[in-house]
Structure 1
Amino acid sequence: MSNTDGLLLVIALGGNAFMKKGEGVEKQWENVKRAARSIVELIKKGYRVVVTHGNGPQVGLILEWIYRASPHLASTITMDMAGAMTQGWLGYMLQQAIGNELEANNLPRRIVTIVTQVLVDPNDPAFRNPTKYVGPYYDCKEAEEIAKKTGWVFKPDPRGGCRRVVPSPKPLEIVELDAIRRLVSQNYVVVAVGGGGVPVTRSNNGLIGVEAVIDKDLASSLLARRLGADAFIILTDVDYVYIDYGKPSQRALKTLTSSEARRLLEQGQFPPGSMGPKIQAAIEFVEERGPNAYAAIGSLDHALDVVEGRKGTRIVKG
């Protein structure tokens, strides 16, 4: 029996778990199988795991495919529907790959995907200032031409090129939380809150979907807090959190207190469309969960090392 037994991790997978920059959809299975190996390595060590994931490239592709195939359908297949489609698409891939990896390691195939709705405020100011990147990378001149035809909003991506941006309201409540909690208690690996969840608001007639994409790290942090997770782990395509990222003075950060992280965030060290929400999500988790919990950000290729503090950036309350 190891001292990791029973510790609950919420693992937020970045988009590189499915498609790395410059890759097409044909690489998805290869990447998902690599992610599955990392997750099952954690399970073998005794951790309990809930998996969340991004969907930016995929939801953007769905909307683009619909527009190019049938422009008249673009207004009827809304972004919340596209988000639900990606939860099924990507959840299926993770569910199969993780399940196969569990069986290959003589572990029970106990994994399930939940199409998750997440409540947002219809008056959230994010609806007036879209910042969330979705879809493929474009040359900025091409993006300008597409914007003229579609009314979509594009912004430069810090990683290069231009991408479509959409509203990213704050997650308030996870509708299917009780179901997720029950499955975790029965030792299921649960894939949930895919792409930040399908954004919904409350109306007199119940829940209704809205055109937005919730940041998956903020939604994952909310899920981790509501589940009482011991750690919140963001696995992405960078090995550490950096200050002065991309500059000659760039420096990796191995540990951060929540107050230090907040100060650097307020100084503009972490852009709102990339590392900013990850840092905010980590701060919210550790400040609510207290000194015995931690958040970590690091490379998907070194998941176990990130979880156990040998690599990546660890954020603690302080």
Structure 2
Amino acid sequence: MKKLAVVAIGGNAVNRPGEKPTAENMFSAIEEAMSYLVEMLDEYDIVITHGNGPQVGNILIQQEMAKDLIPPFPIDVNDAQTQGSLGYMIVQSLRNQLEKKQIKREVAAIITQIIVDRNDEAFKKPSKPIGPFYTEEEARKLMNEKGWIMKEDAGRGWRRVVPSPKPLDIVEKEIIKMLLRNDVIVVAAGGGGIPVIRDNGSLKGVEAVIDKDRASALLAIEIDAQELIILTGVEKVALNYGKPNQVLLDTLTVQEAEKYLKEGHFPAGSMGPKIEAAIDFVTATKRTCLITDMKKLKEALIGLTGTKVVYG
């Protein structure tokens, strides 16, 4: 019997570093990503999740430039737009890969809403990076001109930050389970899902971006996945990342992960949310979370590389 895994693909799977975010470049990057994921299908059923921070940021820039002609949309609507566009690209690219392998499977992308708490402290302390990187000078100018909140992002430059509330429940979870029972490969919770609150019995979108790794962990818990797999730009999690005393980790217990997180080894703008997601999933299920580079996925699945976060 195949294992069920939620596979969270990072920004490099959508936009390679240094490339312009054109549709052609995005299709090329996603096609490559799907070529790695299709190799899993002999042993795994998968639900694919993806980020959308850069894409939402780019839409906000476009809307800002055109605001005198067309009123800008709120962030939750932009979240939905990127779920649709990236979902389309992922589904089409994966279908093409399945065709090449002569594998007959259906693929579907689900526009996914995720419940958050309207009183979440994150709304008072925006922290989720979106959009492109800026120099400090550019960032300070944008803060003055537009009132944006900008923060330095793990030594890579300055980015706009928006609220990132904790995901609490998945509105479409029963639909996702139904599709899985019918052998469909599902793309869901794109960009962390569309953040919504319950308002007098009705759903209502809020201006925020949910971290896709935290949403992926919640999804993995809700659908009873055997494994959470977080694909990112590094082969293994590291302590003192990028420093002369860097230490690569093969295994992390939940207790060790919590300790290193508190010590500041995993920045909020990069590895931090991935470690938090791993802790959430492993604590709730007593199962394993694998963190690795997409290109090393095949080797990581058989234990040759990657970092496993385990209970204990």
TM-score (norm 2): 0.96
Matched, 1:107 2:100: no
Aligned to 1:39: 37
Aligned to 2:309: 315
State the AA in 2 paired with 1:312. G
State the AA in 1 paired with 2:302. E
SS across alignment from 1:12? strand
SS across alignment from 2:19? coil
Identity across aligned pairs (percent)? Answer: 46
Matched, 1:285 2:281: yes
RMSD, matched Cα: 1.3
Q: Residues 151-176 of structure 1, C-alpha deviation per residue, up to 9 Å, x if partnerless?
A: 11111111511111111000000000
SS across alignment from 1:25? coil
Do the aligned residues in 2 keep the contact of 1:103 with 1:109 (CA within 8 Å)?
Answer: no
Deviation at 1:104, TM superposition (A): 1.0
Q: 1:278 to 1:71 in 2, by over 3 A?
A: farther
State the AA in 1 paired with 2:271. M
Superposition map of 1:1-318 within 5 A: 5-26=1-22, 27-43=25-41, 45-71=42-68, 73=70, 76-204=72-200, 206-290=202-286, 293-318=287-312
Runs in 1 of length 4+ with deviation above 4 angstroms?
71-74
SS across alignment from 2:129? strand
**Structure 1 range deviating more: 23-32 or 128-137:** 23-32
SS across alignment from 1:40? helix
Task: Give, in whole Å, the separation in 1 of the partners of 2:68 and 2:123.
Answer: 24
Deviation at 1:15, TM superposition (A): 0.6
State the AA in 2 paired with 1:30. S
Q: Residues 210-232 of structure 1, C-alpha deviation per residue, up to 9 Å, x if partnerless?
A: 00000000000000011111110
Deviation at 1:72, TM superposition (A): 7.0
Do the aligned residues in 2 keep the contact of 1:233 with 1:307 (CA within 8 Å)?
Answer: no
Task: Give, in whole Å, the separation in 1 of the partners of 2:168 and 2:299.
Answer: 31
Q: Which sections of structure 2, spanning at least 5 residues, go unmatched? A: none
Do the aligned residues in 2 keep the contact of 1:283 with 1:315 (CA within 8 Å)?
Answer: yes
Q: Residues 32-76 of structure 1, C-alpha deviation per residue, up to 9 Å, x if partnerless?
A: 011110110101x221010000001000000110001225756x4
Q: Which sections of structure 1, spanning at least 5 residues, go unmatched? A: none
